[in-house]
Structure formats: C-alpha cells, structure tokens
Amino acid sequence: MLLLLPHQLSWLFLIGLFLTACDPMEMPEPKTPVRYLALGDSYTIGESVPADENFPNQFGTVLEAEGYPVDTVDILAQTGWRTFNLLSAIESQRPDSLYQYDLVSLLIGVNNQYGNVPFSTFETEFEELLDRAIAFAGGEKDRVLVLSIPDYAYTPFGQNFNPEEISAELEMYNAHIQQVCTDRAVRFFNITPISQQGLEQPDLVAADGLHPSGKMYAAWVDLFQEEVLALLHD
C-alpha cells in the first residue's frame, strides 16, 4: 500500500485546486437583441400617457430587465386609426418587409366599432393585417401576439353613451379576433377584463377619461410577458 505523507497530500490538494481553476468556465451565450414591431391605434401608441408608459415600451423595459437587449421597439400606430388606416400606413410607410422582427403585436378595431364601420369590413381587413403581422415576423406565427380590444364602456367617456351596447359590440369583435387567432395558431391575449375594471379602479384610466393609464398598460404586460419571455428563451 502506498502511503502519502501529510506534506505530499498538501501538494496534491494544491495541484487539484490549480487544475480546477484552469478549467475553462462556460460563459452563457449573449442573447440576441430583440426587434419588436407594435401595430395598432391609440391603445398601442399610448394616447394621453408618456411614451415610455405605453405597453410596447413597457414591455421593452421588461425585456431589458430580463437580460434581453432590445434593438428596436418600432410602433406603427395612431389615434383614431381603423383597420383600413393601418393597412394604408403599412403600404405608405412600409416597414421593411424584409426586416424580420422577433416579435410583432397587433391591437386594432375599436375605431371600426366606434365609427359604425360595417363589421364585414373589419372581418376582412383584420385578417389582412394579421397576414402582414405574420410576414413582419418572418412567417413565424408563434412570434405574433394579438391583444383583444379594451372595453371603453368602463370609462367615464364610455358612460356618456350606451355602455351596454358598446360592451356587446366589442364582445362580438373580440370573439371574431379570438376565433381567427385560434384558426391561424396565433397567440391571443385577452386584456379586455382588465379594461373592465376602469370604473372600480379609476387609476387604470388616463386623465382624458377614455384611454388606459400607464398602470393599466403595465397590467397588460404582466398578462402576456411570461409566455412571450418563454418563447424568446426557446
């Protein structure tokens, strides 16, 4: 039997430490910068709140906090836009169709309902917009997220009209949106119940009495961020 003296054991211990220290450490691969395009109307651009409080920019902040560098948050949206206006803007401003975004969100339709545009027009144009959103995501359907239309009946502004009718019509719009997303295997996030807390929680509504506040937008992001972060992680 080979016996090692105490001083020999010490040397072996030190050599082991040295060899361990020399082993190359596995460094995590840097995450690819995220490119995000948000398509919509006033609910996307964030009417009546600072730009950094709209939901696309709040989600960009979440991405950064989770270690995903953000290359760009592009927002193609304007207050008052109907589906036709967004389609026209895509044609005229043309976000580069060859520029593949990692994520694309779509939230549109409230101004079709408010302006009494025929529902059949919305049905056709929404599907066209969804096609464009998928194209901007490089054809990757799982990189597209569609948000439901908020229910503005639950705002001081909406209370001045026929809130029951508003809610019923928006329910019809959202049912169609959800069905199209299901048929097309696109992620759908129902943020409408959050918007329906606007009268009980006035701080969820912006100072204009109609649009979401930064706090409501944060609640939207909370609703979808876990699923989208998991998608990026994969």
Alpha-carbon span 106 to 222, nearest angstrom? 17
pLDDT single digits (tens) 166-176: 999 999 999 99
pLDDT(21) > 70: no
> Is 0.75 surpassed by the pTM of this model?
yes
Alpha-carbon span 71 to 34, nearest angstrom? 5
Check if the beta carbon of residue 104 is closer than 8 Å to that of residue 137: yes
> What is the arrangement of strands in the sheet containing 103-107, beginning at the earlier edge strand?
70-77, 34-40, 103-107, 144-147, 187-189
Q: Which domains does the chain have, with CATH numbers?
A: 31-233 (3.40.50.1110)
Residue corresponding to tokens 């169609």 = 176
Alpha-carbon span 83 to 109, nearest angstrom? 6
Max CA distance (Å), the chain: 96
How much is the pLDDT for 29? 62
How much is the pLDDT for 31? 79
Alpha-carbon span 111 to 42, nearest angstrom? 9
Residue corresponding to tokens 């651009």 = 45
Check if the beta carbon of residue 225 is closer than 8 Å to that of residue 187: no
How much is the pLDDT for 41? 99
pLDDT single digits (tens) 99-153: 789 999 999 999 999 999 999 999 999 999 999 999 999 999 999 999 999 999 9
Average pLDDT, the chain: 90
Alpha-carbon span 202 to 163, nearest angstrom? 17
Q: Which amino acid is at 149?
A: I
For residues 194-211, give the mean pLDDT.
99
pLDDT(211) > 80: yes
For residues 64-80, give the mean pLDDT.
96
